Amino acid sequence: MSKNVIGVGLLGMGTVGRGVYRILTENRSGIEQKVGVPVEIKKILVRDTAKNRGVQLEEGVLTADVDEVINNPDIDIVVEVMGGIKPALPYALKALKNGKSLVTANKDMIAEHGKELFEAAEANNSDLLFEASVAGGIPIIRPLKECLAANRIQQVIGIINGTTNYMLTRMSKEGLDFQTALAEAQALGYAEADPSSDVEGYDAARKLAILASIAFNTRVSLSQVYVEGITRITAEDISYAADLNYVVKLLGIAKESEAGVEVHVHPAMLPKTHPLAPVDDVYNAVFVSGDAVGDVMFFGRGAGELPTASAVVADIMSAARSKLKHVPGLYNCTCFDEKPVKSMGLTSTKYYIRLNVDDRPGVLASIAFVLGNNDVSLASVIQKHTTGQAAEIVLVTHRVLEQNLQDALKIIKELSTVNEIANVIRVEE
């Protein structure tokens, strides 16, 4: 029996939920033409039904009772835009078990409980769609699952956190220090009062776990992602990077080789000629390399009410078409392989190392000796600043094994002529 309308229930009415409501109502006619029938919001779960939501809502659409959404026979698609794990996860699982399709923007839930959600979707012949969970309005989940499905993906490198990208842009363009850039981001609403998820790299790590799982067809858990934030990046490091013809970005990097998959989030120096280098402010971008397609890049706004809602509504429309064509469960889990995830010590790249040392003969030679004994070779050395009896030197290595570098740094740190290893930043070519 064909349906005359597709009913939608929203779990949450915050920033993204409001955007979803706006798009579905303001673009109602075009969406109906593209889907084939009207797509209507039947119920919206909120904590306080009396609160002003900033949009004109139909009377009776708000409810504080979740059962009016996930047990409602008039609702075909449940849209979870609450965020977090609880109570979003139990609500999402119950909706799937009731045969509803689920659309979510919840990166935490997908990164940590994706397997459980996909199993529930498949068991109940339902769709699970989550385009908005990574990079807001930028299409990347579906391109990896569908448009690039014929490729063996070799690497995915992304600027996937707008807050840190804004901060690093301000530090690069205006010479701001970390704390000043953070305060500015908070004042503009880009950073939360507790910014740790962004500046420590955890937000990007969740997104990278999702991207890597799809790109390499193997489940990558959040605990397998090496994470390092931007809190140690200074104006000095950014200045040195510019002198070396690099920019500093917080990158999510996922690569596959015969030895396995590597997934890591950390600051990195990128050549100014790299396609990701000019991606500034709150913009996100994801750079993908495939064996057939070559290099492609996806760029746009990675957050915000309407960009994120754009991705959510596109997923709603896809789920609606599946319901109409009687082919639910079309978008199944693609993690059909079990590939090893390499430890960070087994990865290799170039490194920038900034040291404060005694300004006297033989210091550089002793450092170079330790590096050489650990199979770390130097590509360049810079000494710019000398203060009294101390000097600051910057070393850039050739591509080396992470474990070899860490072993060398442990020894260098104990040298009597080395006062401080001020920073170590990876260099991504």
DSSP 350-417: EEEEEEEEE-STTHHHHHHHHHHHTT--EEEEEEEEEETTEEEEEEEE-SEEHHHHHHHHHHHHT-TT
**Looking at the predicted structure, is the pLDDT value of residue 1 above 70?**
no
- Averaged pLDDT for residues 170-177: 95
pLDDT band at 146 (very low <50, low <70, confident <90, very high): very high
Task: Report the alpha-carbon distance of residue 255 to residue 422 in Å, rounded.
Answer: 28
Burial of 299 (0-12, 13-18, 19+ CB in 10 A): middle
Q: How far, in Å, are 4, 34, 88, 186, 371 from residue 39 at the CA level?
A: 9, 10, 23, 37, 63
Annotation says 272 is catalytic: no
Written as six digits, the tokens of 340 are 């090893």
Q: Look at strands 62-63 and 39-45 and give their pairing.
A: parallel
Closest CA to 230 of 177, 299, 271, 280: 177
Mean pLDDT taken over the chain: 95
Q: Is 418 helix (H, G, I), strand (E, B) or coil?
A: strand
Task: Please state the pTM of the whole predicted model.
Answer: 0.94
Task: Report the alpha-carbon distance of residue 209 to residue 226 in Å, rounded.
Answer: 10
Q: Which of 100, 207, 255, 350 is catalytic?
A: 207
Q: Is 110 helix (H, G, I), strand (E, B) or coil?
A: helix
- Averaged pLDDT for residues 5-19: 95
Q: Is 332 helix (H, G, I), strand (E, B) or coil?
A: coil
Q: Look at strands 294-301 and 400-401 and give their pairing.
A: unpaired
- Averaged pLDDT for residues 74-86: 96
